Amino acid sequence: MENQESNKFLGEEKISKLLFKFSIPCILSLLISSLYNIVDQTFIGNSNLGYLGNAATGVVYPITIIAVAFAWCFGDGAAAYLSLCQGRKDIKNIDKSIGNSILITFIISILFLILGFVFKDQLLYLFGASDKSIFLARDYYVIILAAIPVYMLGNSMNAVIRADGSPKFSMAATAIGAVINIILDPIFIFNFNLGIKGAAYATVIGQIASLVVSIVYYTRTKTFKLCKDSFKINFTVFKNVVKLGISTFITQMSIVIISLVCNIMLAKYGASSKYGSDIPIAVIGITMKVFSIVINIIVGIILGAQPILGYNYGAKNIARVKETFKKVTIISIIVGIIATFIFELYPNIIISIFGSNEEIYMEFATLTFRLFLMLVTLTCLIKMCSIFFQAVGEPLKSAIVSLARDILFFVPLVIILPKYFGIKGVLIAGPIADILGIIVTVILIFKFFRNLDTERNNNQEVYLKQSKPGVIITISRTHGSQGKAIGEILAKKLNIPYYYKEMTALAAKESGLDKEFVSNINKSKNVLHDLYLTTSPVKYAIEAQEKVIKMIANKGSCVIVGRAADYVLRNNSNLVKVFIYAPMEYRIKKVMEMYNDSLVNAKKNIEKSDKNRASYYEMISEQKWKTLENYDLCIDSSIGKEKTAEIICEYIKRINK
């Protein structure tokens, strides 16, 4: 019960206190990361480079986002895999996942560097460089690109440091790079008169410092050690790393798409306006980076709320889920309103931080802050709700909320509206996308809360059954092979306890989570991702389930169906592992009989169920499901469930002689 007690505070502690505890570190970490995106533009704008310098960095920014998308994909994936292996107490592949992540990140970074140099001008023009800004963009880009392996490796390794139980060290590594960048920017730009090259050098040196700090940590890690073999490519391990990191990659690439389309439209319609193409691109770059501060505060708050939401949703403590959601919503609205107030009333103060006081520049910058960020409060709520859906295990809704605003609405609007409103069309695309996005978000949120079954409870009393010493029989089965029924018949024949649904109820009681939530774990497509999160209810449920399986085995001879029990009890000397299978035609027939399915639906349900069981088993054990040599006895149940149970009984008698 130790794990249950250690997590109980998430369901009992005052929510405002929990939010403060979890959210503040997240906010600080994200704000430190934001500094890298803002510092260069601040000093460049206040140099003799002015808005052209900021336009140049704005052009390069989306290209670096592509690089970091790969780095975070592999880094977050390795971090997830690290925690996943820790959870199942399997340390043999941890070093391989991290070593492979570092190696592949390095290989991708070299390819990125080569392609980046070969298609240098094409990329810069694609992302909005003009004939005026191309020379500055090229100077900045070449230096940043030359250090792209450093940048990618630093970001990738940093994620693993967090997962290794050192979030403060991870934050310190990022902070050291940011501070060095801040110190060196004015020295290189003004004292050494290096201009935009100085800003690039300062950024690169900061990145090198962050990487060095990360490398130092890798010599004193807590839960893994790298060796030469860690860097040998293992495609099975790396495939799982990519699976766990792909959502991060998609999120980052959506930012690239938005930036690309926005810059193209600004350059096109800006060229035919009084502002030209460089001023709009410089201003939108500043606007997005200032806006990222607001969004990072919101993201920090809701990320801090994730463990509270996840645990209480899993426990079906809906009152606390609603209370947490309400508090986070209120905070998000307050942050959004304050930001809107500043952007609408005092845009000049913000803009002046980034230099360049030319009248026409200030005019467009003021217009951009007041129009483009007009409904920033709605953007905050959309982002908050997207992460909320992640926390409660609704990845599809999370993706819909996020992509609806950014890809489905903003991108088409930013292409269509300038045809009618000129360059202002680009700016008003933002608030219109916010309105459409919040409509989708509100519909999904209301539907989600309306569908919550507040009647569910975990009060059903289930007890472990005392048994006699003897064999523990685990049954794995394909869907439709009647494995459950065979297990029940077998238990009656041997006069020993039978566990199937009882395991779910006991695990729910052990973890404090809802019985149906625990029951549905092996049906979730997001289990692999959720399991690595220390505060994920999926992790609690699986840990409780494994503990219950071991407790059942300690009570004596029994039959246990499903839940990877054969792997959990692999060290038991009196274990017999049985696998039940049958031809597809037989299974389809049985599914049609049991569930009154049509032929088509029966086949689909079998395929889906088998796929989910395979994913769950491989995630728990890192072994292939349905690999016959992993079992002591494999039986084709098409001979009939009674006959199959008799064969197993006979096998048990023979091995006990």
The predicted structure's pLDDT at residue 146: 95
Q: Are residues 371 and 311 in the same domain?
A: yes
The predicted structure's pLDDT at residue 594: 81
Average pLDDT over residues 160-171: 80
Structural tokens at position 57 = 């960095």
What is the spatial distance between Cα 542 and Cα 531, in angstroms, rounded to a whole number?
8
For residue 108, is it within any domain?
A: yes
The predicted structure's pLDDT at residue 439: 95
Contact 120, 134 (CB under 8 A): no
Q: Are residues 202 and 228 in the same domain?
A: yes
Structural tokens at position 565 = 């029990």
Q: Are residues 350 and 316 in the same domain?
A: yes
Q: Which letter, b or e, does each residue of 460-488 get, where b requires 16 or more Cβ atoms within 10 Å of its Cβ? A: eebebeebeeebbbbbbbbbbbbbbbbbb
* Type of residue numbered 456: R
- Unique residue bearing structure tokens 């054969």: 566
The predicted structure's pLDDT at residue 12: 62
Most confident of 83-92, 169-178, 429-438, 568-577: 429-438
The CATH code of the domain that includes 591 is 3.40.50.300
Backbone angles phi, psi at 570, to 5 degrees: -60, -25
Name residues whose C-beta falls within 8 Å of residue 339's C-beta, 6 or more positions apart in sequence: 294, 373, 376, 377, 380
Average pLDDT along the chain: 82
The predicted structure's pLDDT at residue 531: 47
Comparing 380 with 611, the larger pLDDT belongs to: 380
Binned at pLDDT 50, 70 and 90, residue 459 comes out as very low
In this model, does residue 144 exceed pLDDT 50? Answer: yes
Q: Are residues 380 and 486 in the same domain?
A: no
* Type of residue numbered 519: S
Alpha-carbon distance values, 23 to 27, 152, 181, 372, 541 (Å):
6, 26, 26, 28, 24
Eight-state DSSP code of residue 631: S
- Unique residue bearing structure tokens 């024949």: 493
Q: Are residues 333 and 415 in the same domain?
A: yes
In this model, does residue 73 exceed pLDDT 70? Answer: yes
**Of 215, 290, 205, 224, nearest to 83 (Cα)?**
224
What is the spatial distance between Cα 63 and Cα 159, in angstroms, rounded to a whole number?
21
What are the helix (H) ranges across 272-317? 278-314
In this model, does residue 1 exceed pLDDT 60? Answer: no
Q: Are residues 496 and 533 in the same domain?
A: yes
In this model, does residue 645 exceed pLDDT 80? Answer: yes
For residue 621, is it within any domain?
A: yes
Average pLDDT over residues 566-574: 84
What is the spatial distance between Cα 432 and Cα 372, in angstroms, rounded to a whole number?
9
Comparing 495 with 621, the larger pLDDT belongs to: 495
In this model, does residue 464 exceed pLDDT 90? Answer: no
Comparing 274 with 523, the larger pLDDT belongs to: 274
Structural tokens at position 151 = 């940048």
What is the spatial distance between Cα 59 and Cα 54, in angstroms, rounded to a whole number?
9
The predicted structure's pLDDT at residue 84: 64
User: Which residues span the domain enclosing 99?
Assistant: 47-265
For residue 448, is it within any domain?
A: yes
Name residues whose C-beta falls within 8 Å of residue 470's C-beta, 6 or more positions apart in sequence: 496, 556, 557, 574, 656
Domains contained in the chain, number: 3
Question: Residue 61 in 3-state DSSP?
Answer: helix
Contact 574, 568 (CB under 8 A): no
Q: Are residues 360 and 253 in the same domain?
A: no
Average pLDDT over residues 552-571: 84
